Structure 1
Amino acid sequence: MTSRAVRWLRTSGWAAAGALGAGGLVALSMPPWGWWPLAVVGLVALERLLADQPVGARFWRGFGFGVGWLFPATFWMVDFSPPGYLAVVVVFSALYGLVGAACPPGRHRWAALPGLFVLAGAIRWRWPFGGVPLATLPMSQVDSPWATTVRLLGPLLLVGVVVGVAMVGAAAVERRWRAGLVLAVVVGGFWGAATAAPAGTAVGTIDVAVVQGGGPQRTRAVNTDPRVVFERHLEASRQVRPPVDLVVWPEDVVDVPGLFAGSEQQRRLAQLARVLDATLVAGVVEDVSATAAANFAAVFAPDGTQVGRYDKVRLVPFGEYVPLRSLIEPLAPEELPVRDMRPGTGPAVVDSPAGRLGVSISWEIFFENRARDAIGNGGQVLLNPTNGSSYWLTIVQTQQIASSRLRAMETGRWVAQAAPTGFSAFIDPDGNVHQRTGVSEQKVIQAPVELRTGHTLATHLGPWPMIALALALVATAWGFHARSTGRPIRLRA
């Protein structure tokens, strides 16, 4: 082997290790670890790896960064499907490889990288199968000083801000003080604007109780008696301290082998609402047919009458329905759900004696558009009935708490999260967590919660202004790069 080949291998090996390490730092900034400054350090390290590199090297270093980030941060998936876990890591790591490849190698990368990460986030949260917004940069920054920037242009702005902060550090490493100052002013401008941005207005207060029935983690419907889960939550509900306006049960802890209407479970929930003299929201799963099921939140008035129902719109691919079932089912017939959940079609709100309630069921809380739909239709508080009992470890559960915090800040609403085995919590409009429960404990948490009205800019404008801004930023960076190198950009067929 020639000395040139040896040098190439040594350089490539160090670069690969550096890319994996940079991604690993971002992973450690995610829940459940939550060391948020490490995301900035990891992004600075990535920028150093991309600097002045050819396009192929930039792709592979971006890919390695994605592997280092997503391999540990989505590790819970291996317990469900090792092939699916590897596919997710490879596909989304390739997306960050494209981020590296699309980044200009010169100093204009400091402007391009925030835009490219925003575009990558916009893709990940929407594709494939409606998006997989897990282990995202905004989750890692819920405790950072700039978390409230989500009120302006949503979680995509928070992506741009944290990458922008990292680029300030990268410019400082190169002692490019003028560039660093410009970047700092832009980032600081967004941060400052967030402090003055509208965040909704309180119009009243209700007393809310969240019921967590308890039981072991890592249990699933196939090996759990649904009657036991139902009885646990009835038993836990005895801890509710009247008077109370609203009682929230978790997602699908009421599992009916048939239709819910007229069932024993419906009758007993109606009785509970009457006993507590409160509005009751309970997560129900019913079998609609031999091939279809429904996942919804049933709403009972204090007199026991069922007054509303919200059917989950955003469903979990391969968990609640099987995309391309005819092609995939022959490959793993024992691993897939027998019935596909039927998606709802209505707005993410239900009217109740306790007020107009916004609802984002479990998986939906990861998507900002479902919470935005709730607030756009007059939701005064946001409920997240969820079920994390089937997941190994606490990666998903802590990331869901982080997502509820993001939705609270984006919408200017209180969020009440109810989970059967943890974590349940209240989150205020500033993203602060109150009374978070432990794993597997049976507990009721109860607190006064504000009903709020009004929009933030994020709920009013949605993600498209940020996507347009990111595209403009990347195009501008490449334009200045072409001018500085004297090499015009040519599009070739």
Structure 2
Amino acid sequence: MNFAPGLWARTSGVPAVGSLGAGGLVALSMPPWGWWPLALVALVVLERLLADQPLWARAWRGLGFGAGWLFPSTLWMVDFTLPGYLAVGVVFSILYGSVGVACPPGIGRWVALPGLFVLAGAIRWRWPFGGVPLSTLPMSQVDSPWAITVRVLGPLLLVGVAVAVAMVVAAALHRHWQTALVLAVVVVGFWGWAAVAPQGSALGTIDVALVQGGGPQRTRAANTDPAVVFERHWEASQLVQPPVDLVVWPEDVVDVQGLFAASPQQQRLAELAQELNTTLVAGVIEDLPGGAGANFVAVFTPEGTPAGRYDKVRLVPFGEYVPLRWLIEPLAPDYLPAQDMRRGNAPAVLDTPAGRLGVSISWEVFFEDRARDAIGNGGEVLLNPTNGSSYWLTIVQTQQVASSRLRALETGRWVAQASPTGFSAFVDPGGNVYQRTGVSEQAVIQAPVELRTGQTLATRAGPWPMVALALAIGVAAWAFRSRTITPKPPKPDI
């Protein structure tokens, strides 16, 4: 099969609609809509749109692909900030336009695209303001057979593998069997490596209860009574079935005016830990001297003794702190936080009677480096106390469950996600979800959870080996830029 190079140029509306539509398929492969094969279809269409095109055409088609993907799947941001929603969509669409620019137009694109998508992911998950790893390709692939490859080199490898699978299909459709076979061997090789790679080992089992107080979605701190939120979770805690080793409250459901130490809320939580004879972990917001705030989880022993805290390290830009406040605040004073949260700097673990607990607070679970910090410092289970009650729709909440599944696969740990209004869930080291709650319901879910030790290759290696591999792939692909998929004309008869 051979496609005329001028076809798309003569029908300029077709590639515009095609690139937006292909990106839309990626959006539909994401939670909450998600069916993972749609992302592969989208990538095959993108490959066809980029084939043998000049630089400007590849740029626009890549940009359209990014826009079709990111604007629908980050729609929830409109409820917070329309300018922010537009800025994020435009900036990251341009990033995927750059993927089109960097993609060689010949057959090297089948090799280059996996590496380029890895590099785009590495940038987007870390820049700007520490990264925005929402609506990512790995979230869409967590149900795919190759999701387990995150155990080897993390979520960037899953990006590369997913795009490589699509390129196997693309090369096969073009009857370029040699390229399709080589890519397929690489994919199977990574999958086989992940299947036998270390996953950690069990130390024992504890009984864990996750408390969800319930209440309406789409609420903000400004229009919510903190005392009501606290009481909802106090009431829900009466549903806990003793004996229980660990009880987890969600992020920032304990809102203290002033310091948490010696506050009435601290005393009541100590009493609850004593009453249930359990280790209690609860999410707290407190006001610090000097006008800053702190977002942390506090621990209480079964005797009711405070036993440490973990302060959130990865803060939400424009939600928990304002980058370039002097520039931005005059333009958007109504929805920005009045005070910045203090950033924590301690390892993401808590030593408790229930075991050494790894912690990723809310937003942190989207970042593989926070889970890697927790497990690298000996975390035996990963807790994700979170608060999704502010968000419109359920896009963020379902994507967070997908991220918890990825973190479980990467680390070889159980993940326990507790939210005030949904979703709360248990995830096993295989990425399987247990007992997910509904939105707004008051509930306690309780399950035996393995404490585990040992690291996976992903927690040891981090992202940089994949970044280096992706760069090498890009260089190799451009080395073949002069090759085309057009068959050579037959030699003339002599």
Q: CA deviation at 1:483?
A: 7.1
TM-score by length of 2: 0.96
| SS at structure 2 position matched to 1:88 | helix
How does 1:118-157 map onto structure 2 within 5 Å? 118-157=118-157
Cα separation, 2, equivalents of 1:66 and 1:286: 39
CA deviation string 1:428-459 (max 9, x = no partner): 00000000000000000000000000010000
How many pairs are equivalent? 480
Identity of aligned pairs, percent?
78
Match for residue 444 of structure 2?
A: 444
Q: CA deviation at 1:112?
A: 0.3
User: 8 Å contact 1:250–1:387 — kept in the other structure?
Assistant: yes
Deviating beyond 3 angstroms after TM superposition, the runs of 4 or more aligned structure 1 residues are 7-10, 482-485
Q: CA deviation at 1:401?
A: 0.1
User: 8 Å contact 2:31–2:140 — kept in the other structure?
Assistant: yes
Kindly provide the amino acid, as one letter, of the partner of residue 166 in structure 2.
Answer: A
Match for residue 289 of structure 2?
A: 289
How does 1:403-422 map onto structure 2 within 5 Å? 403-422=403-422
| SS at structure 1 position matched to 2:265 | helix
Cα separation, 2, equivalents of 1:309 and 1:473: 44
Match for residue 488 of structure 1?
A: none
Match for residue 187 of structure 2?
A: 187
Q: CA deviation at 1:308?
A: 1.0
Larger mean CA deviation between 366-375 and 476-485 belongs to 476-485
Match for residue 347 of structure 1?
A: 347
Cα separation, 1, equivalents of 2:332 and 2:196: 52
| SS at structure 2 position matched to 1:481 | coil
Is residue 71 of structure 2 the alignment partner of residue 66 of structure 1?
no
How does 1:246-325 map onto structure 2 within 5 Å? 246-289=246-289, 291-325=291-325
| SS at structure 2 position matched to 1:330 | coil
User: 8 Å contact 2:59–2:99 — kept in the other structure?
Assistant: yes
User: 8 Å contact 1:290–1:339 — kept in the other structure?
Assistant: no
Q: Which runs of 5+ in 1 are unaligned?
A: 1-6, 486-493
Q: CA deviation at 1:334?
A: 1.7
Is residue 220 of structure 2 the alignment partner of residue 204 of structure 1?
no
Cα separation, 1, equivalents of 2:326 and 2:122: 29
Kindly provide the amino acid, as one letter, of the partner of residue 198 in structure 2.
Answer: P
Match for residue 13 of structure 1?
A: 13
User: 8 Å contact 2:8–2:14 — kept in the other structure?
Assistant: no
Kindly provide the amino acid, as one letter, of the partner of residue 45 in structure 1.
Answer: V
Match for residue 4 of structure 2?
A: none
How does 1:22-61 map onto structure 2 within 5 Å? 22-61=22-61
Match for residue 390 of structure 1?
A: 390
User: 8 Å contact 2:425–2:434 — kept in the other structure?
Assistant: yes
Cα separation, 1, equivalents of 2:397 and 2:18: 30
CA deviation string 1:352-380 (max 9, x = no partner): 00000000000000000000000000000
Q: CA deviation at 1:289?
A: 3.4
Larger mean CA deviation between 253-262 and 329-338 belongs to 329-338
Q: CA deviation at 1:45?
A: 0.3
Q: CA deviation at 1:173?
A: 1.2
User: 8 Å contact 1:291–1:338 — kept in the other structure?
Assistant: no
Cα separation, 1, equivalents of 2:391 and 2:436: 18
Cα separation, 2, equivalents of 1:344 and 1:10: 56
| SS at structure 1 position matched to 2:295 | strand
Q: CA deviation at 1:290?
A: 5.5
Is residue 109 of structure 2 the alignment partner of residue 100 of structure 1?
no
| SS at structure 2 position matched to 1:204 | strand
How does 1:344-493 map onto structure 2 within 5 Å? 344-482=344-482
| SS at structure 1 position matched to 2:143 | coil
Cα separation, 2, equivalents of 1:10 and 1:301: 71
Assess, with a 3 A threshold, how the Cα gap between structure 1 residues 189 and 315 changes in structure 2: closer, same or farther: same
Match for residue 230 of structure 1?
A: 230
CA deviation string 1:109-129 (max 9, x = no partner): 000000000000000000000
Kindly provide the amino acid, as one letter, of the partner of residue 212 in structure 1.
Answer: Q
Cα separation, 1, equivalents of 2:118 and 2:259: 43
Cα separation, 2, equivalents of 1:267 and 1:27: 46
Q: CA deviation at 1:327?
A: 1.2
Q: CA deviation at 1:484?
A: 7.3
Larger mean CA deviation between 476-485 and 396-405 belongs to 476-485
Q: CA deviation at 1:480?
A: 2.1
Kindly provide the amino acid, as one letter, of the partner of residue 184 in structure 1.
Answer: A
User: 8 Å contact 1:310–1:350 — kept in the other structure?
Assistant: yes
| SS at structure 2 position matched to 1:210 | strand
CA deviation string 1:157-203 (max 9, x = no partner): 00000000000010011011111011101011101111101000001
User: 8 Å contact 1:279–1:353 — kept in the other structure?
Assistant: yes
User: 8 Å contact 1:411–1:458 — kept in the other structure?
Assistant: yes
User: 8 Å contact 2:200–2:453 — kept in the other structure?
Assistant: yes
Assess, with a 3 A threshold, how the Cα gap between structure 1 residues 8 and 149 changes in structure 2: closer, same or farther: closer
User: 8 Å contact 2:226–2:253 — kept in the other structure?
Assistant: yes
Match for residue 489 of structure 1?
A: none
Kindly provide the amino acid, as one letter, of the partner of residue 205 in structure 2.
Answer: T
Kindly provide the amino acid, as one letter, of the partner of residue 293 in structure 1.
Answer: G
Q: Once superposed, what is the RMSD of the aligned Cα atoms? A: 1.3
User: 8 Å contact 2:106–2:482 — kept in the other structure?
Assistant: no
TM-score by length of 1: 0.96
Cα separation, 2, equivalents of 1:327 and 1:95: 24
Cα separation, 2, equivalents of 1:382 and 1:8: 49
Q: CA deviation at 1:482?
A: 4.4
Kindly provide the amino acid, as one letter, of the partner of residue 125 in structure 2.
Answer: W
Match for residue 91 of structure 1?
A: 91
Cα separation, 2, equivalents of 1:401 and 1:483: 43
Cα separation, 1, equivalents of 2:241 and 2:197: 37
Cα separation, 1, equivalents of 2:150 and 2:15: 34
Is residue 115 of structure 2 the alignment partner of residue 112 of structure 1?
no
Match for residue 3 of structure 1?
A: none
| SS at structure 1 position matched to 2:53 | coil
User: 8 Å contact 2:383–2:417 — kept in the other structure?
Assistant: yes
